[in-house]
Amino acid sequence: MSIHPEISTSTHPATLVEDDLVTSGTGRRVLAVTRLATGFIFLWAFLDKTFGLHYSTGAPVAEGSPSLAWVNGGTPSQGFMTFGATGPFKDVFASMASPVTDWLFMLGMLGVGLAVMLGIGLRVSAVAGSLIMLLMWVAEWPFIQGTTNPLVDYHVIYALVLVVSAVLLAGDTWGLGRRWAKLPLVQKHGWLR
């Protein structure tokens, strides 16, 4: 009788480690780099929008005007939801835009970015990050002619990378995943892994 690494005989799923699922050392390192790069995408979005680093956030509108940074009163989600949303849900997103959506978006970017970079709570961050990506995908409604791909765009790819990282326990390599898995709370509640 052979035991398959994808089948855990443990009553505590948090005790499973990445080596049980990904037997190639090179594969684990590639997953770690992919996880870190994806985590940095989320963390960078938070940093750029918080401090107005002039990438996605852009420079001040006019000379002497305040920065668009969140710390200077910028609205990280409201502008996109009001003016950037397209398609049949444009008005829905515009009506939801508020300081609350700014806080939810920014906390989501920070939480997902940090968790994925640290390699902890990957299951929770995969769900949260995938939900953020789904909402952004719907807000940009890809089914309009002139878009690059009507089904699979970067939002879908980021969500898939988050899911793969969580399923394969990619936080164990070059992350704190193994230490996190040993915490009693995580062992008791495997979904925190």
In tens, the pLDDT along 104-123 reads: 999 999 999 999 999 999 99
Domain that holds residue 53: 22-192
Q: Is 14 within a domain?
A: no
For residue 158, count CB atoms less than 10 angstroms from its CB and return exposed for 0-12, middle for 13-18, buried for 19 or more. buried
User: What pLDDT is recorded for position 4?
Assistant: 46
- The torsion angles phi and psi of 191, rounded to 5 degrees, stand at -65, -15
pLDDT band at 65 (very low <50, low <70, confident <90, very high): low
- Which tokens hold the place of 172? 């164990």
Q: Is 31 within a domain?
A: yes
Q: Is 113 within a domain?
A: yes
Number of domains in the chain: 1
Q: Is 11 within a domain?
A: no
Q: Is 181 within a domain?
A: yes
Q: Is 2 within a domain?
A: no
User: What pLDDT is recorded for position 61?
Assistant: 66
Q: Is 54 within a domain?
A: yes
Longest dimension (CA), the chain: 73
pLDDT band at 144 (very low <50, low <70, confident <90, very high): confident
pLDDT band at 64 (very low <50, low <70, confident <90, very high): low
Cβ neighbours around 99 below 10 Å, total: 10
pLDDT for 41-63, tens place per residue? 999 999 999 999 888 877 666 67
Q: Is 66 within a domain?
A: yes
- Which tokens hold the place of 182? 């040993």
